[in-house]
Structure 1
């Protein structure tokens, strides 16, 4: 289905939102990476997962200025087709990577709290790095197809667009090899990279909360605070990512209808999707805030590193990665 939409709302609404996310994301994630690299000793396996989630968030934010420029230019891409593919790849890879590492952190917390004597809890730094490398390889393999999407150099109004999805139901009109497998793979990755991690994160979170409550540890003030923050992190994750996934599925369903029936609804869905996908970037700006608010150790190092300019790194920041590790 080929529809033509009025994109004026997106051009007006998205740039200020993206610019705000860029500023907050660079400051928050840059600061978190700085603390991890220069003020965090010793590292644990949990820290490795948390550091890589922060790295994925930071790399995603770094790719956003080009999207802001794209919308400020009236949705006309001015950086060339090759860099368009690279930018789309960076956004997709690091968005998926951030979700995957958040899932790994949730699994790590679950095993440490619910199964404190499991061998995984003694995972070495080297093995944790291997796990992280595997997650990066998986994420890259799922999104690498965006690097080779062909883009036609024609004189139509759409050739300056830089999008990984198009509502007419194909990645590039007239390119058969991307009509079938390419589109199916792209859609599958978009859905898989959210729904599976969401299921794992919910499973781990519910079991951690249930385990602590059954052991009557949930009445302790510190534990209650930790449980609230766990719930808030999951809630923010769902709020940021769920709308775009639901809207995109609805768009796919609507795009299968005849053009005379579907275009009106598709315009609304298309606008809602681009607003919702911008909301997913907000999660990457909020992750470091949760580190600070949920961990006294992180707050202590932040104050010493930023306010007091301490020379020696604070020992014990690894508790931010373990969270409730000491509660068995």
Structure 2
């Protein structure tokens, strides 16, 4: 079989087979050109947005005083992702899915795996904090204790490293050859462990998020007396995290599972399409660097106020504050009516 090259890319007529295992070349140059321009847009929006967020966190919000160390770690993870995008853009525009340089390929995948793991870990910690504050109010909240200690954040990063190392093992091929019949036993074990880490770090936290969200909704419905504003804010924070998962992380996990299934079944023609779908959803997952600032606003109103006062015009900031005050007043009146109705019935 003719070896693959930029002039001889993968096609349904020249599929992926054990004799033709290299699938680092783009499967459809038009598709990957479009994906590269989508990443250009993500980088163009993500870099200034995250720079502005970082400025506010350090110089205006002073995150270490506002117990927002977890939020700051998500900003760091987002910067790691934004730094990787120009390399991915360069590859896609030059008709390759991954770098042919083993060192660069492994370093880039290491950064992407570490970014994804860190973002998910700290988002889950934030959601658990809101969960304990709402559902188990009055009990000792261990997450609140943890987020006051910066060393815990360092420990989380260190714990993520062992799960990211498989991307740098020498047997790791740049384009995920798991499922090939020509793999060695050691190669197969390495790929299996990497795939297990990939799915575990997405599916397990998603189950935790669903559990947290369901119980918080139940607690919100049970509260018929008093101010619901804090409960609604906590609910919005967790809902924003669920939205990030649903848009950025869950679709690429489903596409990855479908790709592995197609590959293990030996459907080479279908695999060409599955690989393109998977790469497209991976590009979509990079939008978490654009969506995470919404999570910051929902998780801490002080950050939102600091950001708006820094970058929004004064008249717009005043209007937003007036709208927020009106909404709070309406919630208070609604709460008062909830209390008076049972008295009328009696």
Tell me if both proteins adopt one fold, taking TM over 0.5 as the criterion: yes
Residues of 2 paired with 1:214 and 1:107: CA distance?
A: 20
- Aligned CA RMSD, in angstroms, stands at 3.1
1:246 pairs with one of 245, 249, 254: 254
Encode CA deviations 1:70-126: one digit per residue, 9 max, x unaligned. 101111756732121111100111012101111111111111222232333684578
1:38 pairs with one of 59, 67, 76: 59
- Structure 2: which 5+ runs fail to align? 1-16, 315-346
Is the 2:248–2:288 Cα contact (8 Å) retained in structure 1? yes
Is the 2:128–2:212 Cα contact (8 Å) retained in structure 1? yes
Q: CA deviation at 1:34?
A: 1.7
Is the 2:50–2:75 Cα contact (8 Å) retained in structure 1? yes
Is the 1:167–1:251 Cα contact (8 Å) retained in structure 2? no
Encode CA deviations 1:241-293: one digit per residue, 9 max, x unaligned. 222111211221222224xxx01111111111000111111122211134347
Aligned match of 2:33: 12
Aligned match of 1:135: 156
Alignment of 1:1-328 (within 5 A): 1-2=17-18, 6-41=27-62, 43=64, 46-75=67-96, 80-120=101-141, 123-124=144-145, 128-150=149-171, 162-163=174-175, 165-166=176-177, 169=180, 176-178=185-187, 180-216=188-224, 220=228, 224=232, 227-228=235-236, 230-258=238-266, 262-292=267-297, 296-307=301-312
3-state DSSP of counterpart to 1:119:
coil
Q: CA deviation at 1:221?
A: 6.3
Aligned length: 293
Is the 2:63–2:69 Cα contact (8 Å) retained in structure 1? no
TM-score by length of 2: 0.74
Q: Which runs of 4+ in 1 moved over 4 A?
A: 76-79, 121-127, 173-176, 217-226, 293-296
3-state DSSP of counterpart to 1:117:
coil
Is the 1:89–1:147 Cα contact (8 Å) retained in structure 2? yes
TM-score by length of 1: 0.78
- Structure 1: which 5+ runs fail to align? 153-161, 310-328
Structure showing greater relative contact order (alpha-carbon pairs closer than 8 Å, 6 or more residues apart): 1
| Residues 188 and 78 (structure 1), Cα distance of their counterparts in 2 relative to 1, 3 Å cut | closer
Q: Which has the larger radius of gyration?
A: 2
Residues of 1 paired with 2:206 and 2:104: CA distance?
A: 31
Residues of 2 paired with 1:271 and 1:149: CA distance?
A: 26
